[in-house]
Amino acid sequence: MDAFLTAHGRRLIGWDEILEGGLAENAAVMSWRGTQGGIAAARAGHDVVMTPTSHTYFDYYQSRDASNEPIAIGGFLPLETVYGFDPVPAEIEPQNVRHILGAQGQVWTEYMKDPRKVEYMAFPRMSALSEVVWTPAERKDFGDFRARLDTHLKRLKVLDVNFRPMP
């Protein structure tokens, strides 16, 4: 498959299970089972998108009170945890940082029957992840983000986006 994609000017990217069979030369890795697979791929010279369940799975509950939330696959992923994510792991060597392309939020929709539920699960967590990947780590400040988020939520409301209200 890698040869076919390369011949057509494309690139193979796969979930971190592709590390188990040996990576094709041009392959990139989506590290979802934590960050260790991404670190190993970067050390081997492969590009990586960090997608760990611990910080980027927006099909998890946003509150510990699941009875007052839309049904989710399980797990708990509050806004603070998303914002606390650093897609560049501290243990990665400086020469390998260039292989960390960024992060991606996942929304698996098997429990979400319509787009409004998808919006609820994605926002405002997608706003937090966006700031995580756009802001240098030394400039991140959850309190400042949270204060600015109120203005953004007003924009989402005007656009009729069904976001989860903040307590």
Residue range 64-97, pLDDT digits in tens: 999 999 999 999 999 999 999 999 999 999 999 9
Is 72 within a domain?
Answer: yes
Report the number of distinct structural domains present in the chain.
1
- Single pTM value for the model: 0.93
- Phi-psi region for residue 9, left (φ > 0), alpha (ψ -120 to 50) or beta? left
Q: How, if at all, do strands 13-15 and 28-31 pair? A: parallel
- Over residues 97-140, the pLDDT tens digits come to 999 999 999 999 999 999 999 999 999 999 999 999 999 989 99
> HSE on the CB side for 130, CA within 13 Å?
9
Its domain, for residue 73, covers 48-158
H helix runs in the chain, sequence order = 2-7, 36-43, 53-56, 79-83, 115-122, 125-134, 142-158
Is 41 within a domain?
Answer: no
